[in-house]
Chain A
Amino acid sequence: MSVFSLPAVQAILPQLMSIAWGIGKALIVLFGVVICGAYMSLVERRVLGLWQDRYGPNRVGPFGLFQLVADMLKIFFKEDWIPPFADKFLFVLAPLVAMGTMILAFMVIPVTPDLGVADLNIGVLFFMAMAGLAVYAVLLGGYASGNKYALLGVARSAAQSLSYEVFLGLSMMGVVARAGSFDLRTIVLSQQGLWNIIPQFFGFIAFLIAGIAVVHRHPFDQPEAEQELADGYHIEYGGMKWGMFFVGEYVGIILISAMIVTLFFGGWLGPFSVVPPFVWFALKTGAFMLFFILIRASVPRPRYDQVMILSWQYLLPLTLVNLIITGAVLLWVGGAA
């Protein structure tokens, strides 16, 4: 007679199973995201190489697939050094914030109808909160380094985040108004028949630009511009702490791609019912991850005052007008106010 046949255990078994499945789903998403993020470093170098008519890393393993293992071994065994002039506590805290906020934000993404960590009724706001807190990673890392290049990176990052955060939120509000909910699962389900990319095209443009700025990828990588600031805010970092910034950035790219897919491209929805939902989600997200790399390979970097002018003078009015028109159309179609 096993433990599972006892009546008391029988009574709480369904609950235990659902808790275990909840933890399991969270772990699947966590490891999936982190492994994909780490592997994106290899994918980026290979794809960039192909687009620029060269090979990229292709020596370690078939197609260079084990290059990541070599890189990770190097990062793990590198000396974990903290500069003597640094603020030690904040210096260690910053990479944790960088990676932690990005992974936490993945909590609200509905991957498939069954897979997803949490369905918050404030899902969109939770994403914005995490994007807002991610700024602290750059601020603290740059400040704690005690380095003037790092501090210049911090100044640029603060100016940039003040400009993009306003229209990052506003660009999503049209989608929220259409779905009538902040819950990302409801937003996906509201796109059956018509993806938001068509009625919310301007919202999509603004969100795409803001998303690139959130993860400060090229062309919005002024905080870490290699050519001018010699890597900006993480100039003093090395080894595993630098690795966390690095993987955090790639996790951020996956997060933004997944958010674009969820908000504007119908999440797991797709035309053929034979294809499982996860495949649709992965295909769309992968396409946007490649798009991020393509942008990096092709667009020059603007000055940061140009970025601020673009944000405040063009994108902010664009999102406001988009929101007003969306509201008007919704009231017109829906009838009652």
Chain B
Amino acid sequence: MLFSFYIPALVALAGALGAVLEHRPVRALLNLVASLLAIAVVFYGLGAPFAAALEVIVYAGAVMVLFVFVVMMLNLPHEHSGKRSWKSPIIWGFPLCLAVMLFVCLSDLLLERGHVGLLLGNGQQAPEQVGLLLFGPYILLVELAAFLLLAALIVASHIGKRSDDIAASPILREPSFINEIVSQGQSEAEEVHSAARCEMKEEASS
């Protein structure tokens, strides 16, 4: 039981370190994926299989796929990722302060109360119990999350709308800066198109 905690915990730490220190962006993200999977194993070992499954489905399966996809599409060169200056203390000083504060709090808790973490490992928390808790005492949090998601949905659908649709609808026209962004993007796209057309004509003539 102890091994099933310490080994994935070590893997998670190594993955997190790799995500910070790795110079190639895609490899860094894959280190993060490995770290998330190891955290899922830790959850499973602590008796929370539902949390473990969600960790894999949501973080490793959905969120990180998007991250990896975007980084791939950006087609960054292998060496350059803006991480060369990580040795300067301005970069790591502030995160280190935060981490030390958290570490002090955690060690204080552990030293005063003893085995805080053991409570989780005493039994398996079935998915039913998680559901009952979420829709019982914690219903307010679920509804807040629903508000947040609805807001995100509306924003996404607004950004995704075509500009003529926005012009046709008075409600969607209101925030004018988005219109500007859209029209700017369109004019840029037209420039690229016309440039490409010119090139094609030149090639055809030559």
Contacts and interface: CB of A to CB of B under 8 A. Distances in A.
Contact of B57 (A132, A151, A154): A132
Main secondary structure of the interface of A (DSSP, over half): helix
Contacts of A165: 61-62
B33 interface: yes
A133 B50 contact: no
Interface in B40-66: 49-50, 52-54, 56-57, 60-62, 65-66
Interface stretch (A36-44, A67-75, A123-131, A279-287): A123-131
A165 B58 CA distance: 11
Contact of A128 (B49, B57, B69, B126): B57
B68 A126 contact: no
A264 interface: no
A158 interface: yes
A205 interface: no
Interface in B51-91: 52-54, 56-57, 60-62, 65-66, 68-69, 72-73
Contact of A125 (B30, B33, B53): B53
Contacts of B30: 90, 140
A143 B57 contact: no
Contact of A129 (B27, B56, B69, B73): B56
B138 to A, nearest CB: 18
Task: Indicate the member of A140, A155, A158, A162 with the most B CB atoms within 10 Å.
Answer: A158
A128 B62 CA distance: 11
Contacts of A158: 65-66, 69
Contacts of A169: 57
A94 B33 CA distance: 14
Interface string A151-162: 100110010011
A120 interface: yes
B185 interface: no
B61 A125 contact: no
A133 B56 contact: yes
A136 interface: yes
Contacts of B52: 122
Contacts of B57: 125, 128-129, 132, 169
Given A90-B26, A132-B62, A139 B53 contact: no
B127 interface: yes
Contacts of B65: 132, 135-136, 139, 158, 161-162
Contacts of B62: 132, 162, 165
B127 A154 contact: no
A153 B128 CA distance: 39
Do most interface residues of chain B lie in helix, strand or loop, or is the interface mixed? helix
Nearest to A169: B57
A121 interface: yes
Given A129-B61, A132-B61, A121 B72 contact: no
A332 B7 CA distance: 48
Which residue among B50, B66, B68 has the maximum number of chain A CB atoms within 10 Å of its CB? B68
Contact of A139 (B27, B50, B54, B69): B69
Contacts of A181: 128
B33 A136 contact: yes
Nearest to A121: B126
A122 B127 contact: yes
Interface in A24-44: none
A245 interface: no
Interface in A100-134: 120-122, 125-126, 128-129, 131-133
Interface in A51-92: 87, 90
A120 B50 CA distance: 10
A182 interface: yes
B72 A143 contact: yes
Given A90-B26, A136-B65, A154-B72, A129 B33 contact: no
Contacts of B127: 121-122, 125, 182
B61 A155 contact: no
A122 B53 contact: yes
A125 B73 contact: no
Contacts of A87: 26
A122 B54 CA distance: 10
Contacts of B124: 121
Nearest to B33: A136
Contacts of A136: 33, 65, 68
Contacts of B33: 136
Given A129-B56, A158-B69, A143 B26 contact: yes
15 contacts: A87-B26, A90-B27, A125-B50, A125-B54, A128-B53, A129-B56, A129-B57, A129-B60, A131-B61, A133-B60, A135-B61, A139-B68, A154-B69, A180-B128, A182-B127
Interface of B: 26-27, 30, 33, 49-50, 52-54, 56-57, 60-62, 65-66, 68-69, 72-73, 124, 126-128
10 tightest A-B CB contacts, nearest first: A132-B61, A125-B53, A129-B56, A158-B69, A122-B53, A122-B49, A143-B72, A129-B57, A128-B57, A135-B65
